[in-house]
Amino acid sequence: MSNNSAPRQLGDPAVVLLSGGMDSATVLALVKNLGYSPYALSLRYGQRHSSELDAAKVIAKQFGVVRHEIIDLDLSQFGGSALTDTNIKVPTNVLDEPSIHNDSKEHIPVTYVPARNTIMLSVALGWAETLDATDIFFGANAVDYSGYPDCRPAYVDAFERLANLATKIGIQTGAMRIHAPIIDMTKAKIIHVGMSLGVDFSKTVSCYQADQSGLACGFCDACRLRKVGFHEALTPDTTRYQV
Amino acid sequence: MSNNSAPRQLGDPAVVLLSGGMDSATVLALVKNLGYSPYALSLRYGQRHSSELDAAKVIAKQFGVVRHEIIDLDLSQFGGSALTDTNIKVPTNVLDEPSIHNDSKEHIPVTYVPARNTIMLSVALGWAETLDATDIFFGANAVDYSGYPDCRPAYVDAFERLANLATKIGIQTGAMRIHAPIIDMTKAKIIHVGMSLGVDFSKTVSCYQADQSGLACGFCDACRLRKVGFHEALTPDTTRYQV
């Protein structure tokens, strides 16, 4: 795993996972700033609302990506997460939030979508191969999402190892890299980095239950983490709220 | 990677990748025979024809799977393979077949679909998590598909390692297993094993360019490998051909 590295040549292609939230927007800004030609990938995976994908389109355009692909893959057929299963309530208090399994040895939030990052990185890997790209960036964060197994450095390293065995370019050169440049940043740090690179956070949608216009609820865990981030960054919160 | 292992308890759930071809049909028969409760997963990934998915439905029903899910994920948006890109000709001679890149250090067929196995295993992993299943089976074969990076034992081992870092159940128990039970079998051996377990190969579709009724062309690489398999197995070829 490389947290932050420039392309071998300016303009080399890189695939960037872009959800439309503040983390992936900041990653896209970093990738652009490093000198890559970004190819943005979003997934319509059966999430509760589509406004984060609308946000992804706006952000992709703003940063002049070479191409933005939105891939359909409906994970709601499987259920198992508050983000894809409308029978599971979106939690609004990080401390009181129940795990999916009460006997969990580690606390894993109900907003965790089974294998989502693995699926998104796999699709990114397929696209990277057809582009002859060796660099994939995503906004995993081990600080805010410490309960998500697929947001940890060991996971990112394991995916990079897989990527070098799974692909033509990987077995030929060993050059496939999975970058998680904000994995150890606090939300306040992400906000500072994003702002310094021109990210307009009012255009990003983090809320788990935003409305169709992308207005945030202000109460879910994603909103709370974001509010705390702006507070600790000593920066006005530009999020657009429903009330 | 485990090539062949029984469930801890009879009836434990297992996710099985089922393409509709002879390899995955044999794997499903093995899984059933081992005593698992099989959950079959197929992917509509933009392949040239849908008759292999029709075959998958018939096979899933025959072996009494608990559930059969067909997931849509259109990889043809990316192109890069003869199986999803109609601008690339399906090869009909294994020896003369060109690689996608002429400077390849290893020969990789144009029928290789970028990251397909990684994507399918990732989706299987997500489903396994919601089912509390720790066993995923797929029909990778390193004999016939020696040019495909994602059909090799080292790849399967790397995915298993990832699976144990990517999932709740993996980080809690380390029990996730990726099984590739036919990885080192010749086509003739697969045919023998499948027949002994009741697979009706006339119902399976391997051909890269089968027609809508599932009739095989008889000339593409998949057909040739299959013909040689029946020949070496000293068994009548039950494949349904177009002529």
Number of domains chain B is built from: 1
Q: How high is the pLDDT of residue A79?
A: 67
Question: Nearest Cβ partner of A168 from B108, B152, B168?
Answer: B108
- Residues A45 and B72 sit within 8 Å (Cβ to Cβ): no
Are the Cβ atoms of B123 and A108 closer than 8 angstroms?
no
Mean pLDDT of chain B: 86
Residue B45 lies in a domain: yes
Tokens standing for A60? 């992709």
Q: What are phi and psi of B136, to 5 degrees?
A: -125, 130
For residue B19, pLDDT over 60 is answered with: yes
Where is A59: in which H helix or E strand?
Answer: helix A51-62
Residue A112 lies in a domain: yes
d(CA B34, CA B37): 9
pLDDT tens column, A78-133: 766 655 666 666 666 654 444 433 334 445 666 667 888 999 999 999 999 989 99
Query: Longest Cα pair distance anywhere in chain A, in angstroms?
Result: 54
d(CA A63, CA A197): 10
Q: Is A181 left (phi over 0), alpha (psi -120 to 50) or beta?
A: alpha
DSSP label at residue A2: B
List of chain A residues whose C-beta atoms are within 8 Å of the C-beta of residue B72: 72-74
pLDDT tens column, B82-91: 556 666 666 6
Question: Nearest Cβ partner of B126 from A71, A75, A165?
Answer: A75
Residue B22 lies in a domain: yes
List of chain B residues whose C-beta atoms are within 8 Å of the C-beta of residue A126: 75, 78, 113-116, 118-119
Helix, strand, or coil here: A53? helix
pLDDT tens column, B100-158: 333 344 456 666 678 889 999 999 999 999 899 999 999 999 887 767 889 999 999 99
Instruction: Choose the mutation target among B101, B118, B155 for the interface with A, i.e. most A CBs under 10 Å.
Output: B118
Residue B142 lies in a domain: yes
For tokens 């040895």, the residue is A105
DSSP label at residue A88: S
Angle at A166 between CA B135 and CA B184, to 5 degrees: 60
**Residue B37 domain boundaries:** 13-185
Q: How high is the pLDDT of residue B107?
A: 58
List of chain B residues whose C-beta atoms are within 8 Å of the C-beta of residue A115: 122-123, 125-126, 129, 166-167
List of chain B residues whose C-beta atoms are within 8 Å of the C-beta of residue A154: 165
Helices (H), A81-185: 116-131, 153-166, 168-173
Q: How high is the pLDDT of residue A98?
A: 42
Question: Nearest Cβ partner of A122 from B74, B119, B167?
Answer: B119
pLDDT 10s digit of each residue in chain A, 243 long? Answer: 665 688 989 999 999 999 999 999 999 999 999 999 999 999 987 776 788 899 999 999 999 999 999 998 887 777 666 556 666 666 666 544 444 333 344 456 666 678 889 999 999 999 999 899 999 999 999 887 767 889 999 999 999 999 999 998 899 999 999 999 999 999 999 999 999 999 999 999 888 888 888 899 998 888 988 999 999 999 999 999 998
Task: State the helix-helix crossing angle for A153-166 and B153-166, rounded to 10 degrees.
Answer: 160
Cα B166 from chain centroid? 22
Q: How high is the pLDDT of residue A102?
A: 36
Are the Cβ atoms of B168 and A72 closer than 8 angstroms?
no
List of chain A residues whose C-beta atoms are within 8 Å of the C-beta of residue B104: 168, 172
Residue B198 lies in a domain: no
Residue B196 lies in a domain: no
Could you please report the per-residue DSSP string of A189-229?
HHHHHHHHTT--GGG----TT--TT--B-S-SHHHHHHHHH
Question: Nearest Cβ partner of A159 from B71, B126, B162?
Answer: B162
Q: Regarding beta strands A177-179 and A135-137, do their DSSP bridges make them parallel or antiparallel, or are they unpaired?
A: parallel
Are the Cβ atoms of B168 and A101 closer than 8 angstroms?
yes
Residue A111 lies in a domain: yes
> How many other C-beta atoms lie within 10 A of the C-beta of residue A72?
13
For residue B229, pLDDT over 60 is answered with: yes
Instruction: Choose the mutation target among A134, A164, A165, A173 for the interface with B, i.e. most B CBs under 10 Å.
Output: A165
Q: What is the ipTM of this complex?
A: 0.86
- Looking at the DSSP bridge assignments, the partners of residue B216 are B241
Could you please report the per-residue DSSP string of chain B?
-BSS---SSTT-EEEEE--SSHHHHHHHHHHHHHT-EEEEEEEE-S-S-SHHHHHHHHHHHHTT-SEEEEEE--GGGT--STTT-TTSPPP--TTTPPBSSTT-SS--BTTPPTTHHHHHHHHHHHHHHHHT--EEE----TTTTTT-GGGSHHHHHHHHHHHHHHSHHHHHH---EEE-TTTT--HHHHHHHHHHTT--GGG----TT--TT--B-S-SHHHHHHHHHHHHTT------B--
Mean pLDDT of all residues in B161-169: 94
Mean pLDDT of all residues in B51-76: 92
Where is A54: in which H helix or E strand?
Answer: helix A51-62
Tokens standing for A93? 């208090």
What confidence category does residue B65 fall into, taking pLDDT thresholds of 50, 70 and 90?
Answer: very high
Cα B186 from chain centroid? 15
Chains A and B form CB pairs within 8 A to the count of 153
Closest by Cα among B54, B43, B25, B61 to B182: B25
Nearest CA in chain A to B151: A166
Q: How high is the pLDDT of residue A165?
A: 96
Residues 6+ apart with CB under 8 A from A103: none
- Residues A79 and A51 sit within 8 Å (Cβ to Cβ): no
Closest by Cα among B152, B166, B235, B151 to B194: B235
Residues 6+ apart with CB under 8 A from B232: B186, B187, B188
Tokens standing for B202? 């006339």
Mean pLDDT of chain A: 86
What confidence category does residue B99 fall into, taking pLDDT thresholds of 50, 70 and 90?
Answer: very low
Question: Nearest Cβ partner of B127 from A78, A152, A158?
Answer: A78
For tokens 């894993």, the residue is A108
Residue B109: half-sphere exposure toward Cβ, Cα within 13 Å = 25
pLDDT tens column, B179-219: 999 999 999 999 999 999 999 999 998 888 888 889 999 98
List of chain B residues whose C-beta atoms are within 8 Å of the C-beta of residue A104: 168, 172
Domain harbouring B86, CATH code = 3.40.50.620
- Residues A122 and A158 sit within 8 Å (Cβ to Cβ): no
Question: Nearest Cβ partner of B115 from A105, A108, A122?
Answer: A122
Q: Pick the more confident residue, A165 or B96.
A: A165
Nearest CA in chain A to B122: A119
Residues 6+ apart with CB under 8 A from A9: none
Residue B164 lies in a domain: yes
> How many other C-beta atoms lie within 10 A of the C-beta of residue A240?
17
